[in-house]
């Protein structure tokens, strides 16, 4: 099967290209080629998607296309060029207008109104998701067969966001310095992640089977305490965990989710209780297979140690200990 990966040099799109090559497919990656390399066995065709489709792509026939773009005009031009292929489009759970209802599915949750223009996603909190809605609509209406997936927090080796990476890195630090690790309350709040390799394998399988439909790319919800227990098992440590209330964290200017002085994999707002608690039943039924968190944590730490300049977001170790000292008195 001939597969065109629009991207193929960074994280998810590269993992898809790698998985497809491993299964013996003929893989072409279309990218600018400035953010990374394509996997061994894949062919790179340089394409800045602000430009016209390169002749060597326009004259080719592909059985499947994989796209991760958030830019509506880029998706429109690619769909127009390859409408007869099976399309996998990677969207996001940020397309949903309802983030409060636990157990939501693509069939039950309303979407944001689409933004058809190419906006800066920092222009408004909803711009990113609204542009993805537009991209989804283009793929669903303009291709012969469309498989749309809406991932949540994608994790694992190669993660440029450094969010999940924070936890195996912090647990490894605790094993070295013997100091405790701060964890946000409620400790059993449910969260969802997905290993990039599981997502990539699912996407290649969907292309092989010509699977169609719209699905959330998430694992079944897990209590944060269980996720962290599996992280500890994967890293091979047993750190002291100190729960701290959301109120105490907010008072000390600790932010949720990502960025400086934050705690990743924590939202801290009950109005967002549905964001990381989607029902994954239909996705599992459509072929998604999820590996244990311990395996993801082990491999993420190994990648981090081999990539010392990799991004890890969140509280520094000193900031964390300062907060713990303050709340413990």
2-154+194-217 fold: Rossmann fold (3.40.50)
Q: What is the DSSP string of 265-301?
A: T----GGGTTTT----HHHHHTT-----HHHHHHHHH
What is the domain partition of the chain in residue ranges?
2-154+194-217, 157-192+221-272+292-328
Predicted pLDDT at 42: 97
Q: Average pLDDT in the 167-178 region?
A: 97
Burial of 278 (0-12, 13-18, 19+ CB in 10 A): buried
232-244 pLDDT per residue, tens:
999 999 999 999 9
13-69 pLDDT per residue, tens:
999 999 999 999 999 999 998 888 999 999 999 999 999 999 999 989 999 999 999
- Give, for 141, the enclosing helix (H) or strand (E): helix 127-142
The separation between CA 6 and the C-alpha centre of its own chain, rounded to angstroms, equals 17
Structure tokens at 36: 């990374």
Which CATH number, 1.10.1660, 3.90.25, 3.40.50, 1.20.120, labels domain 157-192+221-272+292-328?
3.90.25
């Amino acid at each position: 099967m001939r597969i065109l990966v629009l991207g193929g040099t960074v994280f998810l799109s590269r993992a898809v290209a790698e998985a497809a090559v491993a299964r013996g497919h003929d893989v072409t990656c279309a990218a600018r080629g400035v953010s990374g390399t394509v996997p061994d066995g894949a062919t790179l065709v340089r394409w800045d998607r602000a430009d016209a489709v390169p002749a060597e792509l326009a004259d080719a026939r592909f059985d499947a296309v994989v796209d991760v773009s958030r830019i509506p005009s880029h998706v429109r031009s690619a769909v127009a060029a390859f409408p007869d292929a099976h399309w996998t489009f990677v969207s996001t759970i940020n397309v949903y207008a309802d983030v409060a209802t636990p157990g939501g599915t693509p069939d039950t949750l309303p979407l944001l109104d689409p933004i058809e223009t190419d906006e800066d996603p920092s222009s408004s909190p909803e711009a990113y998701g609204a542009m993805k809605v537009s991209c989804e609509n283009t793929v669903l209406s303009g291709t012969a067969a469309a498989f749309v997936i809406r991932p949540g927090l994608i994790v694992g080796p190669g993660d440029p966001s450094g969010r999940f990476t924070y936890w195996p890195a912090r647990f490894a630090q605790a094993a070295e310095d013997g100091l405790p690790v701060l964890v946000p309350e409620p400790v059993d709040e449910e969260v969802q992640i997905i290993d990039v390799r599981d997502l990539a394998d699912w996407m290649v399988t969907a292309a092989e089977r010509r699977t169609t439909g719209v699905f959330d790319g998430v694992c079944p919800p897990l209590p944060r305490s269980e996720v962290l227990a599996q992280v500890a098992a994967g890293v091979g440590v047993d750190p002291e965990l100190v729960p701290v209330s959301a109120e105490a964290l907010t008072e000390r200017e600790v932010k949720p989710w990502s960025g400086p002085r934050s705690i990743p994999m924590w939202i801290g707002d009950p109005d967002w209780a549905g964001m990381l608690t989607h029902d994954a039943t239909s996705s599992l039924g459509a072929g998604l297979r999820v590996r244990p968190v311990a395996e993801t944590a082990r491999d993420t730490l190994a990648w981090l140690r081999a990539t010392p300049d990799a991004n890890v977001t969140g509280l520094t170790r000193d900031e964390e200990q300062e907060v713990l000292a303050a709340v413990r008195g």
